[in-house]
């Protein structure tokens, strides 16, 4: 009997009325309808994001909901199944995603989901289940828990552009934006292959500086195909040379700054500041309410300071793992201290860009 059948046919796990069922969000049109309606949904819940994860890494998405077949979805918790001989078999909500709130509206939903996930863990013998909520959320799963801390920075775009600029740090952010304008840096945006190539080259050298491989080029192409025009590459040029690039993605009322890279010898010209300020102006012009600067590892004080200086609101993210407590820090992250991470970063530090990209293609499917 399949796992889905086991879960659906088992005695009710929750109270008198709430029973959790397993669905496949990429095959169930009700999933996108829920994502469009639910106020706590994000880019990372969307079918476009799930599709890219599946195409690039082979992560099959599943979700749990208390809605019966044919009923409108009112809640859901989405996961990807990561099955790796290197890092173990686990359910993650979601790989390579800054946050992914369980879309649950009340204590009955929470209880039903907790019991369903506990049963799923035991039936499938997962190493652990990981949740990445935007807001603190504790599901009643009867397993050991460990947490991984991050910070999140978001910018409220409701003030005028003039006030948004004034709220930026005067001696760094404002000054760098003006420096970029004085230096005559040029700016281009779009999702062409040319711009994507500029971005990927800068992203690769930046990841090398941090002793980490870039994600596969295929990941960015799959994202672009799945997301369409809401996927934008923004590139700054100095005398026709690409010196900084970022990727932003729009979803509903939020624009997410997800990836970036720069040529370090030109950082003093303010290329990255120019790109982010243009992205903020673009978001403001389109009526977007939130500019999401994304997650940062808790010990990356320099990057945290950079994001704070844009007038953002800082909050804590706490990823929770239910199951095995060992090696809770993800591979390649700066705070990782397990032997696999130390060995990987030592090797990556000496690789040429071509080999580094190859390492990314091989290793990232084990990381999510």
Query: Tell me, what CATH number does 295's domain have?
Result: 3.40.630.30
Same domain for 176 and 281: yes
pLDDT of residue 3 exceeding 50: no
pLDDT of residue 15 exceeding 50: no
Same domain for 306 and 194: yes
The C-alpha atoms of residue 77 and residue 351 are separated, in whole angstroms, by 39
- pLDDT confidence band for 16 (50 / 70 / 90): low
Residue 48, pLDDT score: 98
Same domain for 172 and 34: no
Question: Residue 124 falls within a domain, yes or no?
Answer: yes
Give the HSE-up count for residue 188: Cα atoms under 13 Å, Cβ half-sphere: 16
Q: What is the pTM of this model?
A: 0.89
Same domain for 288 and 209: yes
Question: Residue 347 falls within a domain, yes or no?
Answer: no
Residue 138, pLDDT score: 81
Question: Residue 89 falls within a domain, yes or no?
Answer: yes
Write phi, then psi, for 103 (nearest 5 degrees): -90, 80
Report the chain's mean pLDDT, rounded to a whole number. Answer: 89
pLDDT of residue 336 exceeding 70: no
Same domain for 192 and 126: no
Residue 238, pLDDT score: 97
Question: Residue 194 falls within a domain, yes or no?
Answer: yes
Query: What's the number of domains the chain is made of?
Result: 2
Same domain for 234 and 123: no
Same domain for 277 and 159: yes
Question: Residue 348 falls within a domain, yes or no?
Answer: no
pLDDT of residue 9 exceeding 50: no
Residue 44: which domain range?
3-143
Residue 365, pLDDT score: 86
Highest mean pLDDT among 8-17, 271-280, 332-341: 271-280
Same domain for 239 and 160: yes
The C-alpha atoms of residue 179 and residue 270 are separated, in whole angstroms, by 6
Range with lowest mean pLDDT among 115-129, 139-153, 335-349: 335-349
Mean pLDDT calculated for residue range 172-184: 96
Question: Residue 158 falls within a domain, yes or no?
Answer: yes
Same domain for 187 and 133: no
- pLDDT confidence band for 210 (50 / 70 / 90): confident
| pLDDT tens-digit map of 53-104 | 999 999 999 999 999 999 999 999 999 999 988 888 999 999 999 999 999 9
Mean pLDDT calculated for residue range 284-291: 98
Question: Residue 351 falls within a domain, yes or no?
Answer: no
Higher pLDDT among residues 135 and 13, named by residue = 135
Sign of CA dihedral 309, 310, 311, 314: negative
Same domain for 160 and 128: no
Q: Counting Cβ atoms within 10 Å, is residue 46 exposed (0-12), middle (13-18) or buried (19+)?
A: buried
Same domain for 203 and 97: no
pLDDT > 90: percent of the chain: 75
Of 143, 161, 177, the residue that ends a domain is 143
Residue 343, pLDDT score: 57
Write phi, then psi, for 34 (nearest 5 degrees): -65, -45
């Amino acid at each position: 009997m399949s796992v889905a059948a086991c879960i659906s046919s088992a005695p009710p796990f929750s109270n008198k009325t709430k029973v959790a069922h397993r669905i496949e969000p990429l095959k169930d049109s009700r999933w996108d309808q829920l994502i469009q309606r639910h106020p706590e949904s994000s880019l990372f819940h969307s079918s476009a994001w799930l599709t890219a994860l599946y195409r690039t890494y082979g992560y099959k998405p599943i979700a749990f909901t208390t809605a019966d077949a044919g009923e409108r979805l009112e809640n859901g918790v989405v996961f990807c199944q990561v099955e790796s001989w290197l890092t173990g078999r686990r359910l993650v909500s979601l790989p390579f995603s800054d946050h992914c709130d369980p879309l649950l509206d009340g204590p009955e939903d929470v209880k039903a989901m907790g019991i369903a996930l506990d049963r799923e863990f035991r039936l499938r013998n997962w190493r652990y289940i990981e949740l990445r909520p935007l807001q603190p959320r504790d599901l009643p799963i009867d397993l050991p828990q460990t947490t991984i801390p991050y910070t999140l920075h978001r910018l409220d775009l409701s003030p005028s552009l003039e006030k948004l600029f004034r709220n930026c740090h005067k001696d760094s952010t404002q000054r760098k934006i003006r420096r970029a304008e004085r230096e005559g840096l040029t700016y281009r945006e779009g999702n062409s292959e040319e711009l994507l190539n500029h971005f990927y080259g800068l992203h690769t050298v930046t990841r090398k500086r941090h002793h980490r491989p870039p994600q596969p080029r295929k990941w960015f192409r799959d994202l672009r195909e799945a997301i369409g025009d809401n996927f934008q590459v923004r590139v700054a040029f100095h005398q026709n040379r690409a010196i900084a690039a970022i990727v932003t993605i729009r979803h509903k009322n939020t624009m997410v700054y997800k990836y970036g890279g720069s040529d370090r010898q030109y950082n003093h010209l303010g290329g990255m500041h120019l790109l982010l300020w243009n992205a903020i102006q673009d978001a403001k012009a389109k009526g977007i309410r939130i500019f999401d600067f994304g997650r940062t590892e808790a010990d990356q004080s320099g990057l945290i300071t950079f994001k704070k200086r844009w007038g953002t609101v800082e909050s804590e993210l706490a990823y929770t793992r239910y199951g095995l407590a060992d090696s809770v820090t993800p591979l390649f992250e700066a705070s990782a201290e397990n032997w696999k991470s130390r060995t990987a970063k030592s090797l990556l530090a000496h690789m040429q860009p071509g080999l580094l990209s190859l390492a990314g293609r091989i290793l990232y499917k084990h990381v999510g």
